[in-house]
A = this chain, B = another copy of it.
């Protein structure tokens, strides 16, 4: 500890004590802390004390924006200003069966709005866009920045993983937060998400903030607080922002698991697929078209999105994107070219009644157990496994009806997953009294 007792370390302790004593930090103080930490000039133990003070004291809006900005500027910020199209992205806080990105990116690009999408992997019980894309044989999510940029010019969209150059402060801070009990702070979550998204060089961002039993923010209040924080932070940094609080009290759509979700997305782009997934894709795309100035209103954006699906333009764009990223576009016409699990197991209802509720996080965990996600960071993902639901909340079931099909490659894992799913789905004699809306709330000045 003494080796680092330099003037810089002294400054760090002032910043720690101010946050501890609930005194607002200046932009310079936050910038100093983040850049010194990223450069390895102040030790983990000082930053973890500061992070805990942030968790317990909170941050003002100005502090949150300063932190986001400092983390953003810790690395490369893509300059896409040479691209004539408006650049709009969407970010979801994560859920189960939450696969809209695969539909939205090509759909919005088909309307002439550029979508530079840098995505993540599955976290906890939730799926990740990169894992889904990698279910497509050959699909490469690790493009160099130059290729990402040229794809945005030629195709209008590209979907890649975070590069080492983008927001290195976030990577370092996240690793520390993970082991020091400082993950659960809306201010730190906001800065982590927004610093990465704003590094994409976008003009506008549509946030899909999930709420319910399958979301990280279980309560609508917490979800709305985080949404407002992110919207205001983005606006302070000159971006057009909107946040939709959407339902994650049951899985989105019917399919959970990487290859299965690719299939469901293609179904949507073919004009089919489950109603809730289609509705959310149109809503999010509608907002992106509106913020991307492709349509005057959100309603027009929804309409145009539906048209681009009907005309086949969205699917064609998806095919193009797959091909440009080295994947097999043939999966769109022949699902058998996607990885398939060796076995199927039906989960049957023991009684007649109605699906009353689902413990959505547990269903996500069941998919992780099957191998569709990671229990430890270094685990490999099995793209073929997953769960296909046959009923949504509110649906009637007869005794012996199949509620879900498990796609699996390991008996032991299938049994663990089956148990978890059976416990997660509640069947009642009468249908649930109220139906949760798909879109709970829209937050933002752009409304």
Residues of A within 8 A of B (CB): 1, 5, 9, 13, 16-17, 20, 43-53, 55-57, 175-176, 179-182
User: Could you tell me if B179 and A9 are in contact, using CB atoms closer than 8 angstroms?
Assistant: yes
What are the 3 tightest A-B residue pairs by CB atom distance, in nearest-first order?
A: A16-B181, A44-B45, A52-B52
Are the CB atoms of B49 and A182 closer together than 8 Å?
yes
Helix, strand, loop or mixed for chain A's interface? helix
A4 and chain B: residue at smallest CB distance? B179
A13 to B180, CA, bound (A): 6
Q: Which of B9, B13, B47, B56 contacts A57 (CB 8 A)?
A: B56
A179: chain B residues within 8 A (beta carbon)? 1, 5, 9, 13, 45-46
Q: Contact at B46–A46, with CB atoms within 8 Å?
A: no
Chain B residue numbers with a CB within 8 Å of A175 are 1
**26 A-B pairs in the complex with CB atoms less than 8 angstroms apart:** A1-B176, A5-B179, A16-B52, A16-B180, A16-B181, A17-B181, A20-B52, A20-B56, A44-B44, A44-B45, A45-B45, A45-B47, A45-B48, A45-B176, A45-B179, A45-B180, A46-B48, A46-B180, A49-B49, A49-B181, A49-B182, A50-B52, A52-B52, A52-B53, A53-B56, A53-B181
Least distance between A6 CB and chain B CB atoms (Å): 11
Complex Cα distance A386/B55, Å?
A: 46
Measured CA separation A48–B176 after assembly (Å): 12
Q: How far is the CA of A182 from the CA of B48 in the complex (A)?
A: 12
Return chain B residues, CB-CB under 8 Å to A55. Answer: 20
Could you tell me the distance in whole angstroms from the C-beta of A431 to the nearest C-beta in chain B?
37
CB closest residue in chain B, given A177: B49
Contact A49 B180 (CB under 8 A): yes
B-side contacts of A46, CB under 8 Å: 48, 179-180
Residues of chain B within 8 A (CB-CB) of A47 are 45
Considering only CB atoms, which chain B residue lies closest to A18 in the complex? Answer: B181
5 additional A-B pairs beyond A1-B176, A13-B180, A49-B51, beta carbons within 8 Å, are A1-B175, A9-B179, A20-B56, A43-B44, A49-B180
CB distance from A156 to the nearest CB of B (A): 39
CB distance from A20 to the nearest CB of B (A): 5
CB-nearest residue of chain B to A54: B52
Beta-carbon contact of B1 and A44 below 8 Å:
yes
C-alpha gap A230/B4 in the complex (Å): 33
- Cα separation A169 to B49 with both chains bound (whole Å): 19
Which residues of chain B are near A56, meaning CB under 8 Å? 20, 52-53, 56-57
Nearest CB of chain B from residue A268's CB, rounded to whole Å: 39
A434 vs B17: C-alpha distance when bound (angstroms): 35
**CB-CB < 8 A to A181: which residues of B?**
13, 16-17, 20, 49, 53
Docked CA distance A180–B15 (Å): 10
Which residue on chain B has the smallest CB distance to residue A56?
B56
Interface centre among A9, A49, A182 (most CB of B within 10 A): A49
Which of A46, A175, A179 is packed against the most chain B CB atoms within 10 Å?
A: A179
Please give the distance in Å from A374's CB to the nearest CB on chain B.
15
Chain B neighbourhood of A50, CB < 8 A? 52
Nearest residue (CB) in B for A46 is: B180
Closest-CB distance, A98 to chain B (whole angstroms): 26
Complex Cα spacing A351 to B176, Å:
60
Distance (Å) between the CB of A46 and the closest chain B CB?
Answer: 6
Min CB–CB distance A281 → chain B (angstroms): 36
- Looking at the complex, which one of B5, B9, B17, B48 makes contact with A48 (CB distance below 8 Å)? B48
Collect the chain B residues with CB atoms within 8 Å of residue A182's CB: 49
The docked-state distance in angstroms from the alpha carbon of A48 to that of B5 is 16
Residue of B nearest to A179 (CB): B1
Q: Using Cβ atoms and an 8 Å threshold, which residues of chain B touch A45?
A: 43-45, 47-48, 176, 179-180
Minimum CB–CB distance for A78 against chain B, Å: 29
